[in-house]
Amino acid sequence: MSRELSPAELMQALRRLTPARIGLARAGASLGTDEVLRFALAHAQARDAVHTAFDPAPIAAALTALDLDVIEVQSAAASRDVYLRRPDLGRTLSGESRDLLSQAGATGPDLAFVVADGLSARAVHEHAVPFIQALLPLLARAGLRVGPAVLAREARVALGDEVGALLGARAVAVLIGERPGLSSPDSLGLYLTFAPRPGRHDAERNCISNIRTAGLAYAEAAHKAAWLISEALRRGLTGVDLKDESGPALTAQPAKERIGPA
């Protein structure tokens, strides 16, 4: 015979469904020791994500295996310290990198990828390649020409505007490590911009956030991205005028955990 869950049991069941800090144990007027230690660990993981150095080599090798040309560039921020203190420098290419892309020539692809460390190199290390691997077949099915993948150090989202313009890309998709939260130090974001060029505003981009194994699954994120990219190219716009109407991906979804007794 079923019985009602106690408040403590219900909260324990809810906590199994989310990494959010709910139902925290208390000791008098303060948090319990375990909760304080877990918070300190999450804070340390977020700090580590921000300061972890970007290692493009394994990503370059994996993308080359997917038949993508790879170009490595650096923003105008010469170091991590400068990058964190001067966000503006992360939005433009260094002179050397600008020359490198200029020499590569404007190939005019439908889409160019920029894989950027952003504020969490960990997110890029763990999720950029499997997400691109899930997305490429959908782009091929739509008949889109994909240009080189540009791996960018010390980069902000707007760096993609300059990269896309130099490559002559119709659209650019920036995959970037998002600002770490206290439960998500590995969140990958995608920012899509049609007709990229320096001076584009954030309102002219579409964003897909929280791409990671504990967030938005690769297949679902790829489904949304493919729809947005195709519609952006068809309509000639991105941003606030392009709403995500992709609907759910037709993939098998895991059964949701049930709260309470059977």
**Rounded mean pLDDT of the chain?**
90
Highest mean pLDDT among 49-58, 163-172, 241-250: 163-172
Tell me the per-residue pLDDT of 128-157, one tens digit each, with 9 for 90 and over. 999 999 999 999 999 999 999 999 999 999
* Position 251 confidence tier, pLDDT thresholds 50, 70, 90: low
% of the chain beyond a pLDDT of 90: 68
DSSP string over the chain: ---PPPHHHHHHHHHTT--S--S--EETTEE-HHHHHHHHHHHHHHHHHHHSPP-HHHHHHHHHHTT--EEEEEBS--SHHHHHH-GGGGGSB-HHHHHHHHHH-----SEEEEEE-TT-HHHHHHHHHHHHHHHHHHHHHTTPPEEEEEEEES--TTHHHHHHHHHT-SEEEEEEEPPP-SS-TT-EEEEEEES--TT--GGGEEEEEEESTTSB-HHHHHHHHHHHHHHHHHHT--STT--------SS--PPPPPPS--
Task: Render the burial of 134-148: b for 16+ CB within 10 Å, e for the rest.
Answer: bbbebbeeeebebbb
pTM of the model: 0.85
pLDDT at 168 over 50: yes
* Position 19 confidence tier, pLDDT thresholds 50, 70, 90: confident
CA-CA-CA-CA torsion sign (80, 82, 88, 91):
negative
Residues tagged in the binding site annotation = 157, 178, 207
Tell me the per-residue pLDDT of 56-95, one tens digit each, with 9 for 90 and over. 999 999 999 999 999 999 999 999 999 999 999 999 999 9
pLDDT of residue 125: 97
Residues tagged in the binding site annotation for adenosylcob(III)alamin = 157, 178, 207
Length of the chain: 262
| CA distance linking residue 35 with residue 2, whole number of Å | 32
Contact (CB, 8 A) for 229 and 171: yes
Greater model confidence, 144 or 25: 144
| CA distance linking residue 129 with residue 109, whole number of Å | 20
Greater model confidence, 108 or 233: 233
Domains of the chain are 56-235 (3.40.50.11240)
